[in-house]
Amino acid sequence: MAMTIHVDIVSADKPILSGQATFVVAPTTMGELGITPRHTQLLATLKPGEVRVTDEKGNISHYFVSGGVIEVQPLKITILADSALREEDARAVELASEESRLKALETKGAIAEGAEVDYFRLQNELIEGAERLRWIREIRGTRSNISQ
């Protein structure tokens, strides 16, 4: 039996995953982080991207996180995400609505010139939106280029 680590992924509105894994990959602001059981303790900031969780049977589950924090203990990983999507959620999302959401954010940035705007927040929303759309397309197998 393979050694495992307990993984919890929680978004602001609901728990996403609670289970055992043999390997987890998470997108941090310092790069991708690969975690195995008995990993040293750490706390890191997540950036928008894909979390991959490998279970005891070798199956890989995919999740999208928009940002947040990851805490690693030797036998437990906790991911507190601002928002998160399961792989099956990506299949249910309307691509057209995601694309129009991203376009609306881009337009908001273009017309806001001269107005008082939190450009840092807007930039983060654009990055999260582009990554989310890229991930949904990848999960669905309909990859295409998006402006970043």
Within a domain: residue 75?
Answer: yes
Residues 6+ apart with CB under 8 A from 122: 105, 108, 109, 112
Instruction: Mark which of 40, 55, 86 sits at the end of a domain.
Output: 86
Specify whether 76 is located in the same domain as 108: no
Specify whether 41 is located in the same domain as 114: no
| Alpha helices, H only, the chain | 87-92, 95-111, 119-140
Within a domain: residue 145?
Answer: no
Within a domain: residue 146?
Answer: no
pLDDT in tens, 90-125: 766 666 666 677 677 666 655 555 556 666 677 777
pLDDT in tens, 25-78: 999 999 999 999 999 999 999 999 999 999 999 999 999 999 999 999 999 999
108 lies in which domain range? 93-140
Specify whether 112 is located in the same domain as 59: no
**Which of 144, 113, 64 lies closest to 122 in space, CA to CA?**
113
pTM over 0.75: no
CATH of the domain at 32: 2.60.15.10
Locate 49 and state its tokens.
Answer: 């991207």
Quote the number of domains for the chain.
2
Specify whether 74 is located in the same domain as 43: yes
Q: pLDDT-derived band of residue 147, with 50, 70 and 90 as boundaries?
A: very low
Specify whether 81 is located in the same domain as 102: no
Specify whether 73 is located in the same domain as 109: no
What's the first-to-final CA gap in the chain, in angstroms? 43
Locate 37 and state its tokens.
Answer: 């059981």
Specify whether 54 is located in the same domain as 124: no
